[in-house]
Amino acid sequence: MDRRPIGVFDSGLGGLTVLKEINRYLPNEDTIYFGDTARVPYGPRSKETIIKYTFQAINFLKSKNVKAIVIACNTATARALVEANESYDIPIIGVIEAGARAAAKTTKNKKVGIIGTAGTINSKAYNKAIKSIDKKIQVIGKACPLFVPLVEEGWANKEISSTAAHMYLDSLIERGVDSLVLGCTHYPILKRTIGEAVGSDIKLINPAKETALDIKKKLEDNNLLNTSEKKGNCKYFVSDINEQFSKVAGEFLKRKITDLEKVEIHRY
Protein backbone atom coordinates (compact mmCIF):
# COMPACT_ATOMS: atom_id res chain seq x y z
CA MET A 1 0.00 0.00 0.00
CA ASP A 2 1.30 3.41 -1.04
CA ARG A 3 -0.22 6.66 0.24
CA ARG A 4 1.67 8.97 -2.14
CA PRO A 5 -0.48 11.01 -4.55
CA ILE A 6 -1.02 10.50 -8.28
CA GLY A 7 0.18 13.40 -10.45
CA VAL A 8 -2.05 14.62 -13.28
CA PHE A 9 -0.63 17.02 -15.87
CA ASP A 10 -2.24 18.97 -18.71
CA SER A 11 -1.25 21.99 -20.78
CA GLY A 12 -4.33 23.74 -19.39
CA LEU A 13 -7.61 22.86 -17.78
CA GLY A 14 -8.97 20.14 -20.08
CA GLY A 15 -7.15 17.49 -18.03
CA LEU A 16 -9.62 18.17 -15.21
CA THR A 17 -12.03 15.82 -17.02
CA VAL A 18 -9.38 13.09 -16.64
CA LEU A 19 -8.83 14.02 -12.99
CA LYS A 20 -12.55 13.68 -12.41
CA GLU A 21 -12.57 10.12 -13.75
CA ILE A 22 -9.49 9.24 -11.67
CA ASN A 23 -11.29 10.56 -8.58
CA ARG A 24 -14.33 8.48 -9.56
CA TYR A 25 -12.52 5.15 -10.08
CA LEU A 26 -9.83 5.65 -7.42
CA PRO A 27 -11.72 7.61 -4.75
CA ASN A 28 -9.17 6.97 -2.00
CA GLU A 29 -6.17 8.27 -3.92
CA ASP A 30 -4.77 11.72 -3.27
CA THR A 31 -4.12 13.64 -6.48
CA ILE A 32 -2.00 16.61 -7.54
CA TYR A 33 -3.12 18.48 -10.66
CA PHE A 34 -0.77 20.69 -12.62
CA GLY A 35 -2.10 22.80 -15.51
CA ASP A 36 0.50 24.73 -17.53
CA THR A 37 -1.90 27.63 -18.05
CA ALA A 38 0.91 30.13 -18.74
CA ARG A 39 2.04 28.20 -21.82
CA VAL A 40 -1.22 26.72 -23.13
CA PRO A 41 -1.89 25.73 -25.91
CA TYR A 42 0.84 23.18 -26.70
CA GLY A 43 -0.71 22.35 -30.09
CA PRO A 44 1.27 24.78 -32.25
CA ARG A 45 4.63 24.20 -30.47
CA SER A 46 7.58 22.11 -31.68
CA LYS A 47 8.21 18.57 -30.42
CA GLU A 48 11.40 19.76 -28.71
CA THR A 49 9.55 22.47 -26.79
CA ILE A 50 6.73 20.12 -25.80
CA ILE A 51 9.23 17.59 -24.45
CA LYS A 52 10.94 20.34 -22.44
CA TYR A 53 7.62 21.55 -20.98
CA THR A 54 6.46 18.01 -20.23
CA PHE A 55 9.71 17.17 -18.43
CA GLN A 56 9.38 20.36 -16.35
CA ALA A 57 5.86 19.31 -15.37
CA ILE A 58 7.10 15.83 -14.44
CA ASN A 59 9.95 17.32 -12.39
CA PHE A 60 7.47 19.53 -10.56
CA LEU A 61 5.09 16.64 -9.84
CA LYS A 62 8.02 14.47 -8.70
CA SER A 63 8.98 17.24 -6.27
CA LYS A 64 5.53 16.67 -4.76
CA ASN A 65 6.42 13.01 -4.23
CA VAL A 66 3.92 11.46 -6.66
CA LYS A 67 3.96 7.70 -7.24
CA ALA A 68 2.71 7.80 -10.83
CA ILE A 69 1.87 10.41 -13.46
CA VAL A 70 -0.98 10.75 -15.94
CA ILE A 71 -0.29 13.01 -18.92
CA ALA A 72 -3.87 14.19 -19.40
CA CYS A 73 -3.11 16.09 -22.60
CA ASN A 74 -3.41 14.69 -26.10
CA THR A 75 -0.63 16.85 -27.55
CA ALA A 76 1.88 16.10 -24.78
CA THR A 77 1.02 12.40 -24.97
CA ALA A 78 1.52 12.32 -28.73
CA ARG A 79 4.79 14.27 -28.63
CA ALA A 80 6.50 13.43 -25.33
CA LEU A 81 5.17 10.24 -23.68
CA VAL A 82 7.77 7.89 -25.20
CA GLU A 83 10.62 10.22 -24.20
CA ALA A 84 9.18 10.66 -20.69
CA ASN A 85 9.06 6.92 -20.13
CA GLU A 86 12.65 6.61 -21.37
CA SER A 87 13.87 9.30 -18.97
CA TYR A 88 11.93 8.67 -15.75
CA ASP A 89 11.45 5.52 -13.73
CA ILE A 90 8.01 6.13 -12.19
CA PRO A 91 4.95 4.91 -14.12
CA ILE A 92 3.81 7.55 -16.64
CA ILE A 93 0.77 6.98 -18.83
CA GLY A 94 -0.97 9.09 -21.45
CA VAL A 95 -4.53 9.49 -22.72
CA ILE A 96 -4.17 8.11 -26.24
CA GLU A 97 -3.32 4.42 -25.68
CA ALA A 98 -6.31 3.82 -23.42
CA GLY A 99 -8.72 5.55 -25.81
CA ALA A 100 -7.31 3.66 -28.80
CA ARG A 101 -7.65 0.31 -27.00
CA ALA A 102 -11.26 1.04 -26.05
CA ALA A 103 -12.07 2.07 -29.63
CA ALA A 104 -10.56 -1.13 -31.06
CA LYS A 105 -12.57 -3.18 -28.56
CA THR A 106 -15.84 -1.29 -29.16
CA THR A 107 -16.09 -1.11 -32.95
CA LYS A 108 -18.05 -3.88 -34.66
CA ASN A 109 -17.83 -2.67 -38.27
CA LYS A 110 -14.18 -1.58 -37.93
CA LYS A 111 -14.91 2.05 -38.71
CA VAL A 112 -13.85 4.41 -35.93
CA GLY A 113 -14.24 8.19 -35.87
CA ILE A 114 -11.82 10.43 -33.94
CA ILE A 115 -12.61 14.01 -33.07
CA GLY A 116 -10.10 16.43 -31.55
CA THR A 117 -8.24 19.68 -32.06
CA ALA A 118 -6.56 20.29 -35.43
CA GLY A 119 -3.21 19.45 -33.78
CA THR A 120 -4.35 16.06 -32.50
CA ILE A 121 -6.10 15.09 -35.73
CA ASN A 122 -3.15 16.17 -37.91
CA SER A 123 -0.71 14.25 -35.69
CA LYS A 124 -2.61 11.03 -36.52
CA ALA A 125 -1.62 9.77 -33.05
CA TYR A 126 -4.93 7.95 -32.51
CA ASN A 127 -4.82 6.46 -36.01
CA LYS A 128 -1.36 5.00 -35.35
CA ALA A 129 -2.35 3.68 -31.91
CA ILE A 130 -5.54 2.04 -33.23
CA LYS A 131 -3.82 0.61 -36.34
CA SER A 132 -1.11 -0.89 -34.13
CA ILE A 133 -3.83 -2.88 -32.34
CA ASP A 134 -5.78 -3.90 -35.47
CA LYS A 135 -4.67 -2.64 -38.83
CA LYS A 136 -7.98 -3.56 -40.46
CA ILE A 137 -9.74 -0.77 -38.56
CA GLN A 138 -10.48 2.28 -40.69
CA VAL A 139 -9.91 5.47 -38.71
CA ILE A 140 -11.60 8.71 -39.81
CA GLY A 141 -10.44 11.88 -38.10
CA LYS A 142 -12.32 15.18 -37.90
CA ALA A 143 -10.97 18.35 -36.31
CA CYS A 144 -13.62 20.33 -34.39
CA PRO A 145 -11.96 23.66 -33.51
CA LEU A 146 -15.17 25.26 -32.21
CA PHE A 147 -15.69 22.69 -29.45
CA VAL A 148 -13.01 23.97 -27.04
CA PRO A 149 -14.19 27.60 -27.07
CA LEU A 150 -17.82 26.44 -26.82
CA VAL A 151 -16.96 24.50 -23.66
CA GLU A 152 -14.88 27.35 -22.25
CA GLU A 153 -17.80 29.76 -22.78
CA GLY A 154 -19.99 27.44 -20.70
CA TRP A 155 -22.20 26.87 -23.77
CA ALA A 156 -21.81 23.07 -23.96
CA ASN A 157 -25.50 22.35 -23.47
CA LYS A 158 -26.88 25.24 -25.49
CA GLU A 159 -28.43 25.00 -28.94
CA ILE A 160 -25.35 26.53 -30.59
CA SER A 161 -23.24 23.54 -29.52
CA SER A 162 -25.80 21.18 -30.97
CA THR A 163 -25.66 23.12 -34.27
CA ALA A 164 -21.84 22.91 -34.30
CA ALA A 165 -21.97 19.19 -33.45
CA HIS A 166 -24.18 18.51 -36.48
CA MET A 167 -21.97 20.63 -38.75
CA TYR A 168 -18.90 18.66 -37.70
CA LEU A 169 -20.32 15.19 -37.20
CA ASP A 170 -22.94 14.61 -39.89
CA SER A 171 -20.17 13.69 -42.35
CA LEU A 172 -18.79 11.08 -39.90
CA ILE A 173 -22.26 9.56 -39.54
CA GLU A 174 -22.57 9.39 -43.34
CA ARG A 175 -19.26 7.58 -43.54
CA GLY A 176 -20.67 4.88 -41.26
CA VAL A 177 -18.50 4.98 -38.15
CA ASP A 178 -19.98 2.96 -35.27
CA SER A 179 -17.67 4.35 -32.56
CA LEU A 180 -16.44 7.86 -31.90
CA VAL A 181 -13.44 8.75 -29.74
CA LEU A 182 -13.68 12.06 -27.83
CA GLY A 183 -10.03 12.81 -28.58
CA CYS A 184 -9.72 16.08 -26.67
CA THR A 185 -9.91 16.45 -22.92
CA HIS A 186 -12.53 19.20 -23.23
CA TYR A 187 -14.98 17.05 -25.16
CA PRO A 188 -16.46 14.93 -22.34
CA ILE A 189 -18.19 18.16 -21.25
CA LEU A 190 -20.02 18.01 -24.61
CA LYS A 191 -20.83 14.31 -24.28
CA ARG A 192 -24.61 14.72 -24.07
CA THR A 193 -24.72 17.20 -26.97
CA ILE A 194 -22.46 15.04 -29.15
CA GLY A 195 -24.41 11.90 -28.24
CA GLU A 196 -27.69 13.51 -29.28
CA ALA A 197 -26.15 14.72 -32.55
CA VAL A 198 -24.77 11.33 -33.62
CA GLY A 199 -27.57 9.15 -32.21
CA SER A 200 -27.42 6.13 -29.95
CA ASP A 201 -26.12 3.72 -32.63
CA ILE A 202 -22.70 5.34 -32.43
CA LYS A 203 -20.83 4.51 -29.24
CA LEU A 204 -18.92 7.39 -27.66
CA ILE A 205 -15.52 6.56 -26.22
CA ASN A 206 -14.20 8.78 -23.46
CA PRO A 207 -10.42 8.33 -23.15
CA ALA A 208 -10.57 10.09 -19.77
CA LYS A 209 -12.52 7.16 -18.31
CA GLU A 210 -10.31 4.58 -20.04
CA THR A 211 -7.20 6.35 -18.77
CA ALA A 212 -8.51 6.26 -15.19
CA LEU A 213 -9.10 2.52 -15.51
CA ASP A 214 -5.60 2.20 -16.98
CA ILE A 215 -3.86 3.96 -14.12
CA LYS A 216 -5.92 1.91 -11.65
CA LYS A 217 -4.64 -1.30 -13.23
CA LYS A 218 -1.07 0.05 -13.33
CA LEU A 219 -1.19 0.83 -9.61
CA GLU A 220 -2.68 -2.59 -8.80
CA ASP A 221 -0.04 -4.39 -10.88
CA ASN A 222 2.74 -2.47 -9.14
CA ASN A 223 1.26 -2.71 -5.64
CA LEU A 224 0.97 1.05 -5.45
CA LEU A 225 -2.73 1.42 -4.57
CA ASN A 226 -3.76 3.48 -1.58
CA THR A 227 -6.00 1.03 0.25
CA SER A 228 -6.96 3.36 3.10
CA GLU A 229 -10.68 4.05 3.37
CA LYS A 230 -10.27 7.79 3.69
CA LYS A 231 -11.50 9.83 0.74
CA GLY A 232 -8.52 11.25 -1.19
CA ASN A 233 -7.95 14.97 -1.57
CA CYS A 234 -6.75 16.97 -4.54
CA LYS A 235 -4.34 19.88 -4.76
CA TYR A 236 -4.33 22.16 -7.81
CA PHE A 237 -1.34 23.93 -9.28
CA VAL A 238 -1.19 26.15 -12.36
CA SER A 239 1.59 28.19 -13.97
CA ASP A 240 -0.68 31.24 -14.40
CA ILE A 241 -3.81 32.11 -12.47
CA ASN A 242 -6.53 33.90 -14.40
CA GLU A 243 -10.25 34.37 -13.89
CA GLN A 244 -10.94 31.63 -16.43
CA PHE A 245 -9.73 28.97 -14.01
CA SER A 246 -12.54 28.88 -11.47
CA LYS A 247 -15.21 29.24 -14.16
CA VAL A 248 -13.91 26.39 -16.32
CA ALA A 249 -12.81 24.26 -13.38
CA GLY A 250 -16.28 24.56 -11.87
CA GLU A 251 -17.84 23.53 -15.17
CA PHE A 252 -15.49 20.55 -15.50
CA LEU A 253 -15.45 19.19 -11.96
CA LYS A 254 -18.84 20.28 -10.64
CA ARG A 255 -17.12 21.26 -7.42
CA LYS A 256 -15.36 24.28 -6.00
CA ILE A 257 -11.58 24.55 -6.16
CA THR A 258 -10.30 25.70 -2.78
CA ASP A 259 -6.66 24.69 -2.90
CA LEU A 260 -5.05 26.49 -5.87
CA GLU A 261 -1.41 27.56 -6.08
CA LYS A 262 0.79 29.17 -8.72
CA VAL A 263 4.03 27.45 -9.78
CA GLU A 264 7.08 29.05 -11.43
CA ILE A 265 7.29 26.10 -13.82
CA HIS A 266 10.35 27.29 -15.78
CA ARG A 267 12.42 26.67 -12.62
CA TYR A 268 11.84 22.90 -12.81
Which of 87, 163, 171, 228 contacts a copy of itself by CB under 8 A? 163
* Closer residue to a copy of itself (CB): 44 or 199: 44
With binding defined as CB under 8 A, does residue 49 bind a copy of itself? no
Nearest distance from C-beta of residue 220 to a copy of itself, angstroms: 39
From residue 55 to residue 94, the character string flagging contacts with a copy of itself as x (rule: CB under 8 A) and all else as - is: ----------------------------------------
Residues 6, 73, 139, 215: which is the catalytic one?
73
Q: Please give the Cα distance from 239 to 228 (Å, whole number).
A: 31
Q: What residues contact 206, with CB distance under 8 A and at least 6 apart? A: 21, 99, 182, 188, 191
Neighbours of 227 (CB within 10 A): 8
Instruction: Please classify residue 15 by burial: count the beta carbons closer than 10 Å to its beta carbon, then call 0-12 exposed, 13-18 middle and 19+ buried.
Output: buried
* Closer residue to a copy of itself (CB): 121 or 129: 121
* Closer residue to a copy of itself (CB): 228 or 244: 244
With binding defined as CB under 8 A, does residue 38 bind a copy of itself? yes
- Let me know: does 263 contact 64? Beta carbons within 8 Å: no
Q: Is 186 annotated as contributing to ligand binding?
A: yes
Is 144 considered catalytic here? Answer: no
3-class SS letters over 103-133: HHHHCCCCEEEEEECHHHHHHCHHHHHHHHH
* Closer residue to a copy of itself (CB): 164 or 189: 164
Q: Please give the Cα distance from 169 to 165 (Å, whole number).
A: 6
Instruction: Please classify residue 165 by burial: count the beta carbons closer than 10 Å to its beta carbon, then call 0-12 exposed, 13-18 middle and 19+ buried.
Output: buried
Is 184 considered catalytic here? Answer: yes
* Closer residue to a copy of itself (CB): 41 or 232: 41
Pairing relation of β-strands 179-182 and 68-71?
Answer: unpaired
- Let me know: does 34 contact 8? Beta carbons within 8 Å: yes
Site for a copy of itself in 126-155 (CB under 8 A): 145-146, 149-150, 152-153, 155
Q: State the number of binding residues for a copy of itself (CB under 8 A).
A: 19
Residue 245 φ/ψ, nearest 5 degrees: -55, -55
Which residues bind to a copy of itself, rule: CB under 8 A? Answer: 38-40, 44, 118, 145-146, 149-150, 152-153, 155, 158-160, 163-164, 167, 244
Q: Which residues are annotated as a binding site for substrate?
A: 10-11, 42-43, 74-75, 185-186
Q: Which residues are annotated as a binding site?
A: 10-11, 42-43, 74-75, 185-186
